[in-house]
Structure 1
Amino acid sequence: MEFYMNDVVPSVQQTRKGLSAFFSSLYTIKEKHSGEGFKKVNAYIRKLSGCNPLAQSLYQLLCRNESGSRTQKIAIVEGLYTLFRELLPSLNKKRGDKIIEDPDVFENAPVCWAYLISKAEKESSQHEIFAPICLTSQPGVRFCDPVQVPGLPDVFEREYVLQKIKDGEKIPNCSAEILRETSMWRATDVEKILLSLPPSIKTFPVWVSYGLVTGQNFQIKLDETFAKMTEELKAYPHLIVTPPLQLKDIGVDGPRLVLLKEDNLGVYIEKAKGSPLDLVVFDCLAGKHKTLNVDELAHEMRDTRSDQTFMTTRTPKEAILVLVDSSSSMKETCYDSDDKMTRLDAIKQLFDNFTTRSMAYDFHHVIGLVEFNSSVKTLHTFTETLETFKEHIHNLIANGCTVLYDALNHGISELEKVGKKFPDCRLRIICLTDGNDFGSKTKPHDVTTKLMCFNIIVDAIIVGKVDNHMLHGISNATGGCCFKPETGTAGLKLFEMETVLSLEMRKPKEKMNPSSITSESVLTTLFTKNGYDEQPEVSLPSELNSKVTVTENSLKKNIKESKSSRFLEKDKRILEELKSLHCDPHPFCTVLPLESDFTFWKILMQGPPDTPYENGAFELYCQFGAEYPVKPPLVRFVTPVYHCNVNSVGRICHNIFDRNYSAHITMREILDAVYGLLILPEPEDPLDSILAEEFLTSREKYEQEAKKNTEETAGNSMDDMEQKLVGEELTKKFTPSHLVCSLTKKMFIDPVKNQDGTVYERKAIEKHLKMQRTDPKTKKLLRRTDLKSDTTMQKMVREHRKKEYLETSV
């Protein structure tokens, strides 16, 4: 079991869940595919990778059932990471819309194993031939100094041969007439094997067909999408995450993958003897077997499925059923007479945007698809994998009438099943339609009451020139939104809003009392009060209402606490980041941790000079999750910002938060990256494609709008914002006068000096020189090129800042 413990740190750090998935799936492969049956898979892995250490280690582990050495374990971890990385879609190798980031590779280990096993069926294992090499001398003792003699392939202990020479005895079949000390030579191949293996191993299988196989050296070309690869999992139930309650069934034998925690995938082995409700599982993160009650596990995971009606690798937070109207009226043009796009084509475009954005954000959602016209038909049951949806929606043909209320009723029955299986899962219907119901047997007020009883929210997107006050009323009564985009651009922008894609960041709407929905008129009159929605309100973290403090005080408090209590590695790292930013602050950013929780920061960011944002001060927040530093912190704008890489709820699109992130990235680098986006947007990787298009085609207009928005939303100064948040602490703070800039009245951050040795804060003096080209004190001519960094002052400031919190090792 030691080989399946998580005690190797991969060179590319993986999530905790990923590490558990890697070792647990490796364990299930050993249980289900080991022995001669694995030879084909090993041959295929050797062919794809050209990595003999990987194939050799897997052969010993899975074909011979030997535990192997730690070096071989590292070879398996690193080799399979490289192989899985090549098999899975990445930004550089796109296959469909799904992208797997580097830290998430091992989370998809079961998918990769299913692909390898299925493809290996067509491979041959004829070249998987191994010759055993004995690692022991004649008396059965492991070699210390192996040698060979002329005419024999055998290996001998040097001491044994020397004794034969001394006694004048011959070694049978040795071709040397007189055996001398110079006749023998070192068996270097055996020496290398001995050095790499533990003393317990007495024989070693050497692969002998190396001259007959050419590997691809991980240069793998795949056409299959991630969705197609995921489909192949169905043939291997032991690699599918099994609902806990399904393990109660007779005939469900181990091994099976099962979630022990949201971030820990374990292996179900068997039912405990004499106690059918107790499961014996292997927890590779803990490195031991555990006995768990199946009902308690299902309750803890909030997963009450008892079958595989739909597959999910994690407990969904939201289930969305998309209802698509394909009635005959959908053939008509959509937005205006100049645009010939039909309503059905508009819906297809909107749905494409919805699936693409949902996959990019990697929400914990399951999504189903239903078509309605004269009848209601489920096109796709609930799934995490959205890539297959597009082909269903693109094949729709407009025909028939519009049984909208029947479709909503059908949606209730579908979502009710999900709600029973996942009690904490939010339930939502997104209805894409062009108008009013025609032909439904279900009454609108009845279906509304039913939706509310099952706590299902309805969001409606109406395309075309028809008003639908009834559907608007149903949406509002259930706590949903009703949108009516007037242009194609407005429609696309709608599905770029995170609060439309997911309820997680949406501020809940007040719902009506179900007993008040007594007639259709109750629903239609809601339109006069509310009208169509523009965008849902955002729900911000409650921590933003908590009191903040300056870094110095937070460090003093938490360094003291770290000495008297057990600090997590994550917390130690956050403190180090806080120390670094206290001693060497970002010149345009102020970090303010919460008084009660130093893992949540408010950040004030001054807009960069010579940009549309230069007169603005923006508030952001930074939240360090449980996976930090393996996963990046959550950094978002609170102040609205007109920017193609920032969405309406403050999400920031920058590669430092995904493909370029590693555990070594510092918070200073993250602040630099976000600040850099304000200097130069990246329209080729946008969150708002409309603004990206504007930036590329009409940059002047983009910058004018950004400047106008900055004046409206971020007009307060940094000093005023900081004073408002931590006023008293700032006034109490003592700073030696020689460390204070005469222009800012604050301690230096980025000090520069002129030819006379006068020291100023860089951003303050540069701002002054834009208006006057003279020194503020001497009134002499002064240019930016005359300013030089003052390293002496920087050092003094850094030393003073360290003393402020009495530097202590965490």
Structure 2
Amino acid sequence: MDTVRCHIMLRGDYEIKVDLEDHKLADLKRGLAYESGIPSHVLQLRDLQWSNDTLKDIGINEDSLVHFFLSSLSEECPNFEQFLKADIQPSVQQTMKGLSVFFSSLYSTRMKEHGEKSKNVVAYIRKLTGCHALAQILHQMICRNETGTNIQKIALVEGLYFLFRELLPSRTSKSQSDVIIEDNEVFEYSPECWAYLLSQSKEESIEHENFAPVSLVSPTTRKRFSEPVRIANLPEICERSVVLQAIEDGEKMPNCTLEDMRLSIKRNTYMEKILLSIPPMIKRFPLWLSYEQVTSSCNFRINPEKSFSQMKEDLDSYPHLQVTPPLQPLNFFVEAPCLMYLKVDNLGVYAQNSKGGVGVYIFNCLEGKTEAVELVKLAKQLGDERTDQTVKITRTPKEAIMVLLDTSGSMKEECYSNVDMPKLDAVKQLFDAFANRSMAYDLPHLMSLVTVGREVKIIHPFTENLEVFKEHVHSLHASGPKPLYDALHLSISELCKMKMRFPNCLLRVICLTDGNDYLSTKNPVDIANMVKSSNIVVDSILVGKVTNNVLHGISNVTGGCCFQPDTSKTALKLFEMETVLSLESRKLKPKSTSAIQTLDELTKLFAICGYDDKPQVKFPKAVESKVVATEDALKKKILESKTTRFMEKDRRIMEELKSLHCDPHPYCSVFPSDTDFTFWKILIKGPPDTPYENGVFELYCQFGDAYPVKPPLVRFITPVYHCNVNNVGRICHNIFDRNYSANVTMREILNAVYGLLIVPEPDDPLDSVLAEEFMSNPDKYKEEAQKNTEASANTTIDDMEKKLLGSDAQQSFVPPHLICPLTKKMFIDPVKTTYGTAYERGAIESHLKQTKTDPISGAPLNENCLKPDKDLKRAVLKHRVDQIEETWV
């Protein structure tokens, strides 16, 4: 065997036994790793190129000294597209859309704000956070236009998450905003946060933003330092091997004797730390010099100086943070960079026009590359055919709403007999309720406001920012006539413009009025035909004791609703209904197929339908699809997986379903759709000793594209009288918002929903009227809940399962000893009596409420005689696992 000397940076020399004629560099590296105790992937060749030739062939012999440096970092320098690829999640997992918005806004900000002018925002972020690692990478990226390391990227993502979380309204923040940004949605609002930081930092001092570029290259060897040292009091950093060679050659350095050089060589540990933390390809590092002069007391404890609404308004000053319509570059000059959607959940950066002029280049941060995109095709895919930014959006709207607010003189009159309130104040209250709920539900709506009084006037153009309407509405006064149908005509015109910009957008007019038209120049019959032919839905809310069968008729011929609440409570409850807030949740009435010819035709509709109570609910189409047992769904899915790769979402749903199959919930059963694995039906048996005890409630669960980052959509199909469930089945529980994380299981969600049926939470209601009733008159609440259960959910779990699965559904074989003699089904939660007989816990407890005897032997029996049957539970679990054994992948 031959001996080769190896030198490891900062560690010294090692002698490695090798066969020069047979061994290669990989063998030498493995031997060195063994001798030094340093993992081989950290050992990097310094002066040699990697080769698969033998050591002898590449010139290594026993007189050679092979140098290695230490680094676990990539030797390639990432470009900005690679560095800003959305491949890192913060500790609080974000949606894919959120990641695209975060990295795209960062990419756009770097392009637009780079250079000395960006020092202010870096200094401001340093002051707010006290996080120097975050400020360091921002300085490199924005001020110096340089990338960083993967560790710096983690610091960037994590640091900005905590900063943005503090800036945005949360459930625990002190801001009075009606908008709540959940933790897993923080990155979706990155442009608003950057706009705030840029606007607030304009006057920030940069006196401590002092950096010195430190060269990591030895001026003598022109290679990166390996073992940096200092000699005596000389300011220069030297390479240790160069100094030792100079001593051997008898060379002298200025101001140093030969003896001093040998004795005064000292390791430069500060430079060593930089070298070990910076990738080999980086030759110069900007060192922050003001560390000792800066003390920060903030440490991410931030009180934003602006409301969320003001933050959104700040975006107007920063075009590079605004979403540009796909067709705008074809019609007007658009300065790059700016943001542009590639898909509904993928925001990119418009970088530059393509040479052909028919498309643009857009940076796709989810892929980490720039793509050429055809703008006309993209506009059709997105349903956004705006040619300018007259209407500014951050997402493609699903509904455009023109709110028609009555400010005529008649609105000074009293509204409700039981409350001393003018009609205009009642309308303002209703508008507030509508705007607040819309913001709380984060509905993708655009809204505009038109007033009807002394003149028909658009108070505010279409916008997503509903907060801006409140100040306008609160300042309105009642005066003048009421050209109601003229206002409807203006609304039709404005909504049709929106339809041209957003072809897939639903259109609606909401009239808040007392209904008394006066001095309109437009004919109501013509207006009715116009709104109908334009596919605009008209909803009208009549306040006060008035009659306007014409407006009622216009609402009905468009498929809309006409409400006349008789109290302020019932009026406010309207805007707690999701079917009033959003057309997407509503099953529309049939529209008139023929044109309206006379005014009489409109007014006669009142005798047929009258005023509306609440709109009908529209459930997902999958509600009507066939469902199957968990065992069948799992077996089918695993067969599909043999030819199709599982996505993270599908794998997680599979795990949840397996868990619920093997260890079912005792009061909840799940049934996946036969055609859509991401859609489940759920049956919940009403908890004992509650108003829901004798009912069985049907729900659905829909796993969206963002699952498990965002919670599944779980809603009641069966109507339930409950203060935490609204008329479309939406459930209000913290497990669906502030307490949700990607680690929450479906069993925990089922427990939470079941727990709400046991103990309602009136302090966090969806139905404020029912919450008040629960608090003030619990007996009445219980009585009404029992009546509703009797009317809507009075069935058995067996009958509901037969209805869902079909009476001819095949049952898999179950050993008789695993079947409960009472339920005739496989055990879920078996208990054993003192006589040795096993029963399902829920079934025997229900039986014992009727009679204190054993169902089989007739012997005396009570609840104290029941003990968990752990052996039987294990046997049941084994059988359930065996049923789906082939699906455990």
Corresponding residue for residue 46 of structure 2: none
Corresponding residue for residue 270 of structure 1: 352
- Helix, strand or coil for the counterpart of 2:887? coil
- 1:277-426 aligned within 5 A: 277-336=358-417, 338-426=418-506
Q: Does 1:523 align with 2:605?
A: no
Q: Distance in 1 between matches of 2:306 and 2:804?
A: 53
Corresponding residue for residue 237 of structure 1: 319
Corresponding residue for residue 253 of structure 1: 335
Corresponding residue for residue 87 of structure 1: 167
Q: Distance in 1 between matches of 2:780 and 2:210?
A: 69
- Of the three residues 181, 203, 223, the one matched with 1:100 is 181
- Of the three residues 126, 131, 135, the one matched with 1:46 is 126
Deviation at 1:664, TM superposition (A): 1.8
CA offset digits 1:498-549 (Å, max 9, x no partner): 111110011121111352x112111111111111111111112222222111
**8 Å CA contact retained: 1:449, 1:514:** no
Deviation at 1:370, TM superposition (A): 1.0
- 1:383-782 aligned within 5 A: 383-515=463-595, 517-728=596-807, 732-782=811-861
**8 Å CA contact retained: 2:214, 2:286:** yes
Q: Distance in 1 between matches of 2:787 and 2:256?
A: 94
Q: Does 1:159 align with 2:241?
A: yes
Q: Distance in 1 between matches of 2:740 and 2:247?
A: 64
TM-score w.r.t. length of structure 2: 0.88
- Helix, strand or coil for the counterpart of 2:420? coil
Deviation at 1:746, TM superposition (A): 1.2
CA offset digits 1:132-152 (Å, max 9, x no partner): 223233412222233334323
**8 Å CA contact retained: 1:303, 1:423:** yes
Q: Does 1:206 align with 2:300?
A: no
Q: Distance in 2 between matches of 1:201 and 1:221?
A: 38
Q: Distance in 2 between matches of 1:85 and 1:176?
A: 60
AA aligned to 1:789 is P
- Helix, strand or coil for the counterpart of 1:652? coil
**8 Å CA contact retained: 1:549, 1:729:** no
Q: Distance in 1 between matches of 2:255 and 2:550?
A: 99
- 1:67-78 aligned within 5 A: 67-78=147-158
Q: Does 1:148 align with 2:230?
A: yes
AA aligned to 1:601 is W
Deviation at 1:223, TM superposition (A): 4.0
AA aligned to 2:276 is L
Q: Distance in 2 between matches of 1:250 and 1:459?
A: 37
- Helix, strand or coil for the counterpart of 2:260? coil
AA aligned to 2:561 is C
After superposition, the Cα gap between the structure-2 partners of 1:773 and 1:173, relative to the gap in structure 1 and judged at 3 Å, is farther
Q: Distance in 2 between matches of 1:52 and 1:778?
A: 76
Q: Does 1:24 align with 2:104?
A: yes
**8 Å CA contact retained: 1:607, 1:614:** yes
Deviation at 1:165, TM superposition (A): 5.1
Which portions of structure 1, spanning 4 or more consecutive aligned residues, are displaced by more than 6 angstroms? none
After superposition, the Cα gap between the structure-2 partners of 1:152 and 1:700, relative to the gap in structure 1 and judged at 3 Å, is farther
Deviation at 1:164, TM superposition (A): 4.7
**8 Å CA contact retained: 2:447, 2:462:** yes
**8 Å CA contact retained: 1:95, 1:226:** no
Q: Distance in 2 between matches of 1:312 and 1:687?
A: 28
After superposition, the Cα gap between the structure-2 partners of 1:163 and 1:752, relative to the gap in structure 1 and judged at 3 Å, is farther
- 1:169-208 aligned within 5 A: 170-173=252-255, 178-180=260-262, 183-208=264-289
Deviation at 1:777, TM superposition (A): 4.2
After superposition, the Cα gap between the structure-2 partners of 1:150 and 1:707, relative to the gap in structure 1 and judged at 3 Å, is farther
- Helix, strand or coil for the counterpart of 1:602? strand
CA offset digits 1:209-265 (Å, max 9, x no partner): 122223211111124221111111111111100111111245312111111111111
After superposition, the Cα gap between the structure-2 partners of 1:768 and 1:180, relative to the gap in structure 1 and judged at 3 Å, is farther
Deviation at 1:71, TM superposition (A): 0.6
Q: Distance in 1 between matches of 2:201 and 2:365?
A: 27
After superposition, the Cα gap between the structure-2 partners of 1:595 and 1:251, relative to the gap in structure 1 and judged at 3 Å, is closer
CA offset digits 1:416-467 (Å, max 9, x no partner): 1101101111110000001220111111111111111211111000000111
**8 Å CA contact retained: 2:634, 2:887:** no
- Helix, strand or coil for the counterpart of 2:401? strand
Deviation at 1:780, TM superposition (A): 5.0
Q: Distance in 2 between matches of 1:758 and 1:283?
A: 64
Q: Distance in 1 between matches of 2:836 and 2:234?
A: 84
Deviation at 1:757, TM superposition (A): 4.2
CA offset digits 1:632-669 (Å, max 9, x no partner): 11111000001111100101111211222222221111
Q: Distance in 2 between matches of 1:239 and 1:725?
A: 49
Q: Distance in 1 between matches of 2:886 and 2:253?
A: 72
Rg larger in structure: 2
- Of the three residues 93, 113, 129, the one matched with 2:194 is 113
- Of the three residues 196, 213, 235, the one matched with 1:132 is 213
**8 Å CA contact retained: 2:723, 2:768:** yes
Q: Distance in 2 between matches of 1:150 and 1:31?
A: 45
AA aligned to 2:267 is R
- Helix, strand or coil for the counterpart of 1:428? strand
- Helix, strand or coil for the counterpart of 1:340? strand
**8 Å CA contact retained: 1:635, 1:651:** yes
TM-score w.r.t. length of structure 1: 0.97
Q: Distance in 2 between matches of 1:610 and 1:730?
A: 33
- Helix, strand or coil for the counterpart of 1:126? coil
**8 Å CA contact retained: 2:450, 2:456:** yes
**8 Å CA contact retained: 1:95, 1:224:** no
- Helix, strand or coil for the counterpart of 1:341? strand
- Helix, strand or coil for the counterpart of 1:447? helix
- Helix, strand or coil for the counterpart of 1:108? helix
Deviation at 1:301, TM superposition (A): 1.1
**8 Å CA contact retained: 1:620, 1:636:** yes
Is 466-475 or 764-773 further displaced after alignment?
A: 764-773
Q: Distance in 1 between matches of 2:750 and 2:727?
A: 20
State the aligned residue count.
Answer: 806
AA aligned to 1:304 is E
Q: Distance in 2 between matches of 1:764 and 1:238?
A: 64
**8 Å CA contact retained: 1:150, 1:176:** no
AA aligned to 1:236 is Y
CA offset digits 1:341-373 (Å, max 9, x no partner): 111111111111111111111111101111111
AA aligned to 2:517 is D
Is 12-21 or 146-155 further displaced after alignment?
A: 146-155
Deviation at 1:174, TM superposition (A): 5.4
CA offset digits 1:36-90 (Å, max 9, x no partner): 1111110011011110000001111111111111111111111111111111111
Q: Distance in 1 between matches of 2:752 and 2:96?
A: 26
Corresponding residue for residue 88 of structure 2: 8
Q: Distance in 2 between matches of 1:739 and 1:251?
A: 73
Deviation at 1:625, TM superposition (A): 1.6
CA offset digits 1:454-487 (Å, max 9, x no partner): 1111100000011111110111111110000011
